[in-house]
Amino acid sequence: MKLLATFAVFTLFAVATCRRSAEEWKDRVIYQILTDRFAAPGSASWSSCGDLRGYCNGNFRGIIEQLDYIAGMGFNAIWISPLPQHTEGDYHGYSAIDMYTISWHWGTEKDFNDLVAAAHARDIWIMVDVVANHMGIGDVSTYIPFDKTEHYHEYCEIHDWNDAWQVENCWLFGLPDLAQENQYVDNELCYWIDWLLKTYDIDGIRIDTVSHVPKWFWEKFKAAANVYDVGEIYTSDLGKIQYYIPPMDAALNYPFYWTMKDVLIWGKSMRDLANKYNEMKARFGATMHVMGTFADNHDQARFLCDRNSWTLLKNYVMLVLTMEGIPIVYYGTEQGYTGCADPNNRESLYPNYNTDHHLYWFIATTNYWRGVLGTSFTAADQVERWIDDDFYSFTRGDAMMCATKIGEFGNLSRRVSYHNYPIGTVLVNIYNTNDRVTVQSYGIDISITGGEPKLYLPQSYISANAANAPAQHVASE
């Protein structure tokens, strides 16, 4: 009866959905939040959440209240936690017990509709995390819509992560594993994702645990969703990721994420960044433009946990925001959060909505100029201009990025002779507009002081657009 009622409401009152495509998402920059940890109404005056293993009371109304904080960093998309009612206590939301009811912890249907409307009014798109691999822990006979034992695989544990059968059929962390080969499960999951997108006007989805579900099912799920999706395929094996693209539009770029950490945290050669990009570009081609590049996330220790360096973090964030892909920044990175293993990397953001934090400004500045460049930047491939063990420079369109692993105590100079600028062009560093270089017949002389990253644009961009840029300053930490 629940599904019949739901279908009736859906048929009569569903709103039109934009069904944003991968192509449309290319100009988006995503801010990832855990709904429970980001904000509640009035939480700017609260103290930080004391028990990170329980609920911290964040909800949709809190997100609405802090949309200006998000927009102030230049983000035009938000990735939020799974919507369904979940196993009580699972504040993250990845353990659904009723797929057709929004978790009361997050708010009501009206609250969520109000969030979508308020975000869209600011041209901020909504990406929702979705799970089609498993349900929550408990009595499955009470679950909606999968209330029979035949809807699930028989219990087994994953002992060999290279065994595809185990990965696809056994239970992840003891969560009941859905049997997509069951026709009812197959049909219902595809109906549900279509219903979800139509009912709530969602712009895109992040798909959890992709490799735990057979590829043939994702082909049907993708057809039903018909929206930009980025899949979690937790591996550095490019072949395994390529196996799922298509049907996935893209995947979270774990291979590049781990390479960046190896270089910037553990001191490996910057050449590894260029090599990884070239290897991925050869495999994925234009798909690189819609891969999900990310700075921290809820499943990994934060960058500053492993390496306490603001400077190296800025190099990391600049690379994420400027390399090919759709950038994703995890909430709290802009406030210098240092959380290590789960749940310590899932801190409450409240009360730390400090728009004067230098990392907030750094992200806002990068995103502002990314927006100024528009499709001339996002549609452009990155072209390597210099690479050695300590320094990496590349261009996309008219922008030139310079990153280094030397850290805050290091200085270096390089002459970049391979570039795409006319002689005499004045290039300005967006992070310090007093830092200017003129393109000479022999190239561009780049000087790095204190390991700071640089993003150079021709003076013409700065002159035309500087008035609306985030105010240049060195803010408090």
**Whole-number Å distance between alpha carbons of 111 and 133:** 27
In a shared domain, residues 78 and 157: yes
Instruction: Specify the CATH number for the domain of residue 443.
Output: 2.60.40.1180
Q: Is the pLDDT of residue 472 over 80?
A: no
Confidence band for 17, pLDDT divided at 50, 70 and 90: low
Query: Does 475 fall in a domain?
Result: no
Residue-level pLDDT at 78: 98
Q: Is the pLDDT of residue 5 over 70?
A: no
In a shared domain, residues 332 and 457: no
Query: Which residue, 345, 259, 272, is CA-closest to 305?
Result: 345
- Over residues 64-92, the pLDDT tens digits come to 999 999 999 999 999 999 999 999 999 99
**Whole-number Å distance between alpha carbons of 381 and 399:** 11
Q: Which domain holds residue 425?
A: 384-467
Which residue is catalytic, options 177, 229, 232, 334?
232
Which residue is catalytic, options 177, 188, 201, 208?
208
Tell me what the mean pLDDT of segment 129-145 comes to.
97
Residue-level pLDDT at 471: 86
Query: Which residue, 76, 93, 120, is CA-closest to 329?
Result: 76
Residue-level pLDDT at 98: 98
DSSP secondary structure letter of residue 334: G
- Over residues 86-126, the pLDDT tens digits come to 999 999 999 999 999 999 999 999 999 999 999 999 999 99
Residue-level pLDDT at 473: 65
Confidence band for 475, pLDDT divided at 50, 70 and 90: very low
Confidence band for 203, pLDDT divided at 50, 70 and 90: very high
In a shared domain, residues 279 and 388: no
Mode of pairing for the β-strands spanning 426-429 and 454-458: antiparallel
Task: Tell me, yes or no, if 232 is annotated catalytic.
Answer: yes
In a shared domain, residues 351 and 407: no
Residue-level pLDDT at 476: 40
Complete DSSP assignment for 417-435: ------TTPEEEETTEEEE
- Over residues 231-255, the pLDDT tens digits come to 999 999 999 999 999 999 999 999 9
Q: Is the pLDDT of residue 12 over 70?
A: no
User: In the listed set 323, 349, 377, which residue is the last one of a domain according to the structure?
Assistant: 377
User: In the listed set 377, 398, 429, which residue is the last one of a domain according to the structure?
Assistant: 377
Cβ within 8 Å of residue 5, ≥6 positions away: none
Q: Is the pLDDT of residue 315 over 50?
A: yes
Residue-level pLDDT at 9: 34
Residue-level pLDDT at 419: 96
- Helix/strand/coil for 144: strand
- Over residues 412-440, the pLDDT tens digits come to 999 999 999 999 999 999 999 999 999 99
Residue-level pLDDT at 2: 38
Query: Does 227 fall in a domain?
Result: yes
Mode of pairing for the β-strands spanning 250-251 and 228-231: parallel
Query: Does 476 fall in a domain?
Result: no
What average pLDDT is seen over the chain?
A: 94
Burial class (CB in 10 A: 0-12, 13-18, 19+), 50: exposed
In a shared domain, residues 363 and 394: no
Query: Does 477 fall in a domain?
Result: no
Query: Does 463 fall in a domain?
Result: yes
Number of domains forming the structure of the chain = 2
- Over residues 323-380, the pLDDT tens digits come to 999 999 999 999 999 999 999 999 999 999 999 999 999 999 999 999 999 999 999 9
User: In the listed set 328, 351, 377, which residue is the last one of a domain according to the structure?
Assistant: 377
Does the global pTM surpass 0.75?
yes
In a shared domain, residues 438 and 402: yes
Query: Does 474 fall in a domain?
Result: no
In a shared domain, residues 346 and 404: no
In a shared domain, residues 430 and 368: no
In a shared domain, residues 249 and 391: no
In a shared domain, residues 11 and 95: yes
Complete DSSP assignment for 48-97: PPS-TTS-----HHHHHHTHHHHHTTT--EEEE---EEE-TT-TT--SEE
Q: Which residue has the tokens 């004391």?
A: 50
Instruction: Specify the CATH number for the domain of residue 350.
Output: 3.20.20.80
Mean pLDDT lowest for which of 47-61, 283-297, 463-477? Answer: 463-477
Backbone angles phi, psi at 32, to 5 degrees: -90, 130
Q: Is the pLDDT of residue 3 over 90?
A: no
Query: Does 22 fall in a domain?
Result: yes
Residue-level pLDDT at 44: 94
In a shared domain, residues 252 and 389: no
Backbone angles phi, psi at 30, to 5 degrees: -100, 135
DSSP secondary structure letter of residue 100: E
- Helix/strand/coil for 463: helix
Cα–Cα–Cα angle for 455, 329, 449, nearest 5°?
Answer: 30
Query: Does 71 fall in a domain?
Result: yes
Sign of CA dihedral 242, 247, 248, 250: positive
Could you tell me if 459 and 468 are in contact, meaning their C-beta atoms sit under 8 angstroms apart? no
In a shared domain, residues 266 and 403: no
Sign of CA dihedral 404, 405, 408, 414: negative
Residue-level pLDDT at 13: 35
